[in-house]
């Protein structure tokens, strides 16, 4: 049963990586808010919750780099590199917190909020470092715009969609991940 659970997690992680690759195409069809929906974030968060922190971190780190190297979007440096650290943090934190906290609704939200805050802070630190290397500056107002203001639709979508999906899919009868 344990090997079966590992295989299911690996297949799900591959599915979440594929979703991270494809979802920006779908949201890109909504020019006004497409990128503001943060389409790569949801699959990574779900991967952390459902497959564990190892897979969540791996999918989160890989997704923006893979997309950048194959499609040129997002631009590799600094955007995709900084996103890789941000999304890896989402997968890591959501997976760890979900593992150690009870699977009840308030703890799912707590895990999600903590992962979202930690990921955005890591993104800010990565952008500050990357832009400093190039002799540029990353101001606090640029951080607020990138992490919060421009991401409000994506934040709202994550706060609604991720907990619902976790509550449905985390049921052992559905995916049998508790092997």
pLDDT in tens, 109-131: 999 999 999 999 999 999 999 99
CA distance 60 to 90: 7
CA distance 140 to 172: 43
* pTM score, whole prediction: 0.94
- The residue with tokens 């790569």 is 40
| pLDDT at residue 176, rounded to an integer | 60
Token pair in block for residue 7: 């295989």
Q: Into how many domains does the chain fold?
A: 1
Residue 113 belongs to domain spanning: 2-175
Positions of the chain with pLDDT under 70:
1-2, 173, 175-179
CA distance 88 to 44: 8
CA distance 21 to 39: 9
- Strand, coil or helix: what is 39? coil
Contact 56, 48 (CB under 8 A): yes
Contact 175, 7 (CB under 8 A): no
Q: What CATH number does the domain containing 49 carry?
A: 1.10.1760.20
| pLDDT at residue 29, rounded to an integer | 86
| pLDDT at residue 134, rounded to an integer | 83
| pLDDT at residue 95, rounded to an integer | 98
CA distance 176 to 179: 7
- Taking each continuous run of H as one helix and of E as one strand, the counts in the chain are 8, 0
Residue 136: how many CA atoms within 13 Å on its side-chain side?
12
| pLDDT at residue 5, rounded to an integer | 86
């Amino acid at each position: 049963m344990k090997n079966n659970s590992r295989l299911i997690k690996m297949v799900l992680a591959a599915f979440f990586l594929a979703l991270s690759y494809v979802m920006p195409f779908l949201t890109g069809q909504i020019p006004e808010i497409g990128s503001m929906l943060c389409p790569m974030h949801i699959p990574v968060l779900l991967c952390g919750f459902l497959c564990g922190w190892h897979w969540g971190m791996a999918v989160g780190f890989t997704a923006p780099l893979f997309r950048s190297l194959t499609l040129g979007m997002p631009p590799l440096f600094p955007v995709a590199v900084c996103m890789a650290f941000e999304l890896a943090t989402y997968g890591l934190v959501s997976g760890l917190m979900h593992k150690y906290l009870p699977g009840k609704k308030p703890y799912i939200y707590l895990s999600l909020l903590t992962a979202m805050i930690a990921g955005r802070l890591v993104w800010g630190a990565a952008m500050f470092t990357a832009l400093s290397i190039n002799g540029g500056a990353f101001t606090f107002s640029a951080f607020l715009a990138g992490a919060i203001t421009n991401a409000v639709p994506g934040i709202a979508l994550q706060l609604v969609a991720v907990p619902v999906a976790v509550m449905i899919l985390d049921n052992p009868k559905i995916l049998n991940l508790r092997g």
